[in-house]
Amino acid sequence: MAQRSLISSFVSFDGEGVRRGYLGVPHSVQESAYGHIAIPIAVAKRGDGPTLLLTGGVHGDEYEGPLVLYRLMRALAELDPSGRGIILPSVNHPAFLAASRVSPIDQIDLNRCFPGSRDGTATQAIAHYVAAVLLPLISIAALSWSRSRVAAPPRSVRAGAQMSSGGPN
């Protein structure tokens, strides 16, 4: 059995309706030994049905997924879901705010530290929460990935591109 996460959820996963809140990742800094990192989350539930997890921002420099998921969070009340949807638009929120592939807090790539560690760094604790708390709740997951701001295009794109002075055609 997985250890209980130290991350607090300030949104209910069980109640009916649309709720927005945050996950509180414990993080001590010089100014406060009892601080936390707030990671935005939304939950929408109506009746019985499967649970869908939508995530973006595992890498903070991949913007498209988080931007779409933040827009979806705002529109949840207008939708008519059946079952439950959980949206974490920027899972690695510190990296997203810093527009960085890795977290500026601990220099760790969230994608490389699953299943994480309950008592580890902030990034390891986020990975542990996803693996130990969220994954057991869900029926299906949709993960948003995109090209980072510094990555080269995939080999297939480079091989098929015709280069000119104006860039790929």
Neighbour-count burial for 20-34, b at 16+ CB within 10 Å, e otherwise: bebbbbebeeeeeee
* pLDDT mean for each 10 residues of the chain (169 residues): 85 94 91 88 94 94 90 88 92 95 96 95 97 95 68 41 35
Q: Is the dihedral of CA 87, 93, 96, 100 positive or negative?
A: negative
State phi, psi for 30 to the nearest 5 degrees: -55, -40
What pLDDT score was predicted for residue 64?
87
- Domains of the chain, by residue range, sit at 8-168
Range 8-168: architecture per CATH: 3-Layer(aba) Sandwich (3.40)
pTM of the model: 0.83
Q: Please give the Cα distance from 17 to 34 (Å, whole number).
A: 31
DSSP strand E in 28-143: where?
Answer: 36-46, 51-55, 83-88, 140-143
What pLDDT score was predicted for residue 146?
67
Tokens of 43: 């939950």
What pLDDT score was predicted for residue 29?
81
Instruction: Name, in order, each residue with C-beta under 8 angstroms of 33's C-beta and a sequence gap of 6 or more.
Output: none
Which SS3 state, helix, strand or coil, does residue 51 take?
strand
What pLDDT score was predicted for residue 163?
35
State pLDDT tens for residues 104-146. Answer: 999 999 999 999 999 999 999 999 999 999 999 999 988 776 6
Q: Is the dihedral of CA 109, 114, 119, 125 positive or negative?
A: positive
* Long-range Cβ contact pairs of 110-115 (< 8 A, separation 24 or more): 110/58, 110/59, 111/58, 111/59
